[in-house]
């Protein structure tokens, strides 16, 4: 064996840079299920099962393709705990210390590989539309890194939904049409489900034994674990659900966790699907007149806009990004995030769905669990570790900028120019949660007041110095100042009482 070729659990792409640089005849591919990767946060059992099963399927495809693969299973007797440990072990077995790797999506692993007593060549990960160098060039010298401007560059670069140098339909962004609540629809298609094959069944048993105590329901397990099935999921979404994606993107329903979302992030982030092929399929549906422009544009913006932008931010900001805490929040993450009972129906639902599916869509993550954590002043690092653990699609390069940046404003305003906070009103408008809640969303004070209503003001007042001069928030401070003083006092004392109950571990 000449060299080792590292393929990580989220690098399951046949055109991976490390594979393109390798030599089938002489190099050995190393893939390893290891305790450190499965344990850096208490991952949801479905997430571990997805990663392990997809890894095993991918290894089989590589072998069928003529590669030599050294695959370590988590329960192999002589396996070590870490990726570097496995590379060293294989290196010793085969008499080489040369490694070809594709740059991992996490600073932790990048430095582990750099510090390893091996000769590691780390290739840039080009499974993205925008390279890190191109992102830096775009960002250099700008005062604000607005996603919208970045997105336009990506549209021009890819040519997606472009007519010459102009955006199709005359506008870059059709979000204006996209804020509709949804109602139950028995005819709405559901995401495709894939029955576990023998490999997945074996993985499920392993995960049950080793990670059965982690938060999250392992069975039933329906995610795709191969590229072929991920392509089926894409086709199903494009054919049956994409048309309503724009309209109902922000809607939340108790009986429908998935609505018109694609549930493709697990496959994209593992490398089973690529961002461009997904977007080209979406564009084709629009070109054929089968889906409206707001659906196609909105979807493409999430993938070549938000997703690429988040990655650029993560790598540009550096390894300390997950430790940032611009607002100085230090409250412990409440037990309700791990399923302890709560009377807040929105949170109860979002968490239960997360436990069962390892999935919640963007607005549930941002405006329910994220909004509450921000309003209540939870330590952003604990919030970050929660999101990294519980979602099927969570890898630090994409999770951290969403949590630390977009959701918790802990980066001080790099990702968002204002914090994503709202009172209960937003949740009432976009969901059916409030109709079934112990609290009254219309109550602004008193025993039944929706906690989001109380905490919203408490948050704004706590951080008045920072936000009062923000032009997008000034109006809220004027509203507060116009309230009569007795009412303001009641709001703040009710909020303080609520936070005290939360702190005391009561089921709020
Ligand atoms: P759809 O609604 O169908 O969207 C299509 C695709 O667009 C997604 O598959 C995803 O690849 C991309 N996308 C949409 N929004 C974003 C975004 N804000 N950032 C990056 N990509 C986006 N996404 C992850 O992939 N991994 C994470 O760990 C993650 N953590 C998040 C944490 C918080 C606090 C928040 C607010 C958002 C997070 N997101 C994360 C973004 C978003 O919620 C998910 O990408 C989306 O819910 C995935 O489900 P879907 O495939 O059904 O998405
Ligand atoms: C998420 C994950 C898990 C649960 N397990 C493994 C593993 O055993 N082996 C592996 O190579 N990768 C795993 N992964 C994915 C890695 O954590 C991921 O590659 C890094 O976080 C970089 O994004
Ligand atoms: Fe959530 Fe408040 Fe609505 Fe209850 S009333 S579901 S706590 S927003």
How much is the pTM? 0.98
Mean pLDDT of all residues in 150-157: 98
**3 state SS of 272:** coil
Do residues 352 and 397 both lie within one domain?
yes
Mean pLDDT of all residues in 419-447: 97
**Residue 100: pLDDT band with limits 50, 70, 90:** very high
**Residue 186: pLDDT band with limits 50, 70, 90:** confident
Mean pLDDT of all residues in 52-65: 98
Do residues 466 and 346 both lie within one domain?
yes
Mean pLDDT of all residues in 173-198: 91
Q: Which of 179-188, 250-259, 366-375 has the least mean pLDDT?
A: 179-188
Pick the last residue of a domain from 77, 92, 123. 123
Q: Ligand 2 test: best mutation among 35, 37, 83, 223, most atoms within 8 Å of CB?
A: 37
Any ligand 1 atom below 6 A from CB of 423:
no
Mean pLDDT of all residues in 386-403: 98
Do residues 302 and 174 both lie within one domain?
yes
Do residues 269 and 410 both lie within one domain?
no
What CATH number did the domain enclosing 286 receive? 1.25.40.80
**Residue 184: pLDDT band with limits 50, 70, 90:** confident
Do residues 145 and 36 both lie within one domain?
no
Query: Residue 83: inside a domain, yes or no?
Result: yes
Do residues 349 and 254 both lie within one domain?
no
Q: Ligand 3 test: best mutation among 252, 341, 345, most atoms within 8 Å of CB?
A: 345
* Structural domain of 425: 335-503
Do residues 306 and 169 both lie within one domain?
yes
Do residues 292 and 402 both lie within one domain?
no
Domains identified in the chain, total number: 3
The pLDDT > 90 percentage for the chain reads 98
Query: Residue 221: inside a domain, yes or no?
Result: no
What CATH number did the domain enclosing 45 receive? 3.40.50.620
Pick the last residue of a domain from 259, 283, 317. 317
Cβ neighbors of 225 (< 8 A, separation 6 or more) are: 50, 53, 54, 57, 194, 197, 199, 200
Structure confidence by residue, pLDDT tens digits, 216-242 = 999 999 999 999 999 999 999 999 999
Yes or no: say if 54 and 12 are a contact pair by the CB < 8 Å rule. yes
ipTM score over 0.95, yes or no: yes
Yes or no: say if 96 and 2 are a contact pair by the CB < 8 Å rule. yes
Query: Residue 330: inside a domain, yes or no?
Result: no
**Which element (helix H / strand E) includes 493?**
helix 485-503
| Ligand lying closest to the C-alpha of residue 269 | 1
Any ligand 2 atom below 6 A from CB of 113:
no
Q: In a 10 Å sphere around its CB, with 0-12 CB exposed, 13-18 middle and 19+ buried, how is residue 253 labelled?
A: buried
Query: Residue 22: inside a domain, yes or no?
Result: yes
Yes or no: say if 358 and 393 are a contact pair by the CB < 8 Å rule. no
Query: Residue 143: inside a domain, yes or no?
Result: yes
Q: What is the pLDDT of residue 178?
A: 78
Query: Residue 203: inside a domain, yes or no?
Result: no
Do residues 21 and 118 both lie within one domain?
yes
Query: Residue 404: inside a domain, yes or no?
Result: yes
Do residues 145 and 117 both lie within one domain?
no
Residue of the nearest CA to atom 34 in ligand 1?
403
Residue found by looking up tokens 């392992």 in the block: 218
Query: Residue 415: inside a domain, yes or no?
Result: yes
Q: Ligand 2 test: best mutation among 33, 51, 315, most atoms within 8 Å of CB?
A: 51
Do residues 340 and 309 both lie within one domain?
no
45 phi/psi in degrees, rounded to 5: -55, -35
Structure confidence by residue, pLDDT tens digits, 286-343 = 999 999 999 999 999 999 999 999 999 999 999 999 999 999 999 999 999 999 999 9
Yes or no: say if 424 and 455 are a contact pair by the CB < 8 Å rule. no
Structure confidence by residue, pLDDT tens digits, 463-482 = 999 999 999 999 999 999 99
Which of the two residues, 177 and 448, has the higher pLDDT score? 448
Do residues 255 and 112 both lie within one domain?
no
Closest ligand 3 atom number to CA of residue 453: 2
Pick the last residue of a domain from 254, 287, 317. 317
């Amino acid at each position: 064996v000449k060299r080792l070729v590292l393929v990580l659990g989220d690098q399951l792409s046949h055109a991976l840079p490390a594979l393109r640089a390798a030599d089938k005849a002489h190099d050995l591919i190393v893939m390893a299920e290891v305790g450190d990767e499965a344990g850096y946060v208490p991952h949801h059992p479905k997430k571990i099962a997805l990663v392990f099963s997809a890894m095993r399927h991918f290894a089989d495809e590589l072998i069928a393709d003529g590669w030599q693969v050294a695959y370590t299973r988590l329960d192999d007797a002589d396996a070590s705990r870490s990726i570097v440990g496995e590379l060293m072990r294989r290196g010793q077995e085969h008499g080489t210390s040369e490694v070809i790797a594709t740059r991992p999506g996490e600073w932790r692993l990048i430095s582990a590989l750099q510090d390893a007593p091996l000769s590691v060549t780390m290739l840039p990960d080009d499974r993205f539309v925008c390279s890190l160098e191109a992102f830096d060039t775009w960002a250099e010298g700008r005062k604000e890194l607005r996603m919208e401007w970045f997105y336009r560059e990506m549209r021009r670069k890819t040519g997606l939904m472009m007519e010459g140098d102009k955006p199709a339909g005359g506008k870059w962004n059709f979000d204006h049409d996209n804020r509709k609540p949804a109602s139950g629809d028995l005819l709405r298609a559901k995401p495709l489900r894939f029955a576990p094959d023998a490999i997945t069944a074996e993985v499920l048993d392993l995960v049950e034994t080793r990670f059965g105590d982690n938060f999250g329901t392992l069975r039933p397990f329906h995610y795709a674990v191969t590229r072929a099935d991920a392509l089926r999921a894409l086709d199903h979404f494009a054919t049956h659900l994409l048309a309503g994606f724009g309209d109902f993107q922000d809607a939340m329903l108790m009986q429908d966790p998935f609505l018109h979302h694609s549930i493709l992030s697990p496959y994209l982030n593992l490398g089973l699907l690529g961002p461009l092929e997904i977007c080209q399929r979406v564009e084709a549906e629009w070109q054929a007149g089968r889906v409206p422009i707001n659906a196609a544009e909105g979807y493409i913006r999430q993938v070549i806009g938000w997703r690429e932008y988040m990655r650029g931010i993560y790598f540009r900001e550096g390894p300390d990004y997950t430790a940032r805490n611009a607002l100085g929040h230090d409250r412990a993450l409440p037990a309700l995030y791990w399923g302890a009972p709560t009377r807040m129906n929105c949170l109860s639902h979002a968490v239960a769905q997360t436990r069962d599916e390892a999935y919640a869509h963007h607005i549930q993550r941002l405006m329910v669990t994220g909004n509450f954590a921000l309003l209540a002043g939870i330590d952003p690092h604990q919030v970050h570790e929660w999101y990294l653990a519980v979602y099927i699609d969570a890898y630090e390069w994409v999770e951290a900028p969403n949590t630390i940046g977009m959701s918790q404003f802990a980066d001080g305003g790099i990702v968002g120019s204002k914090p994503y906070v709202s009172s209960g009103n937003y949740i009432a408008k976009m969901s059916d949660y409030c109709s079934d809640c112990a609290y009254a969303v219309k109550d602004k004070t008193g025993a039944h007041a929706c906690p989001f209503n109380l905490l919203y003001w408490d948050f704004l007042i706590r951080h008045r110095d920072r936000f009062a001069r923000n032009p997008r928030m000034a109006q809220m401070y004027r509203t507060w100042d116009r309230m009569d003083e007795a009412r303001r006092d009641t709001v703040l004392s009710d909020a303080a009482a609520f936070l005290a109950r939360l702190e005391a571990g009561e089921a709020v």
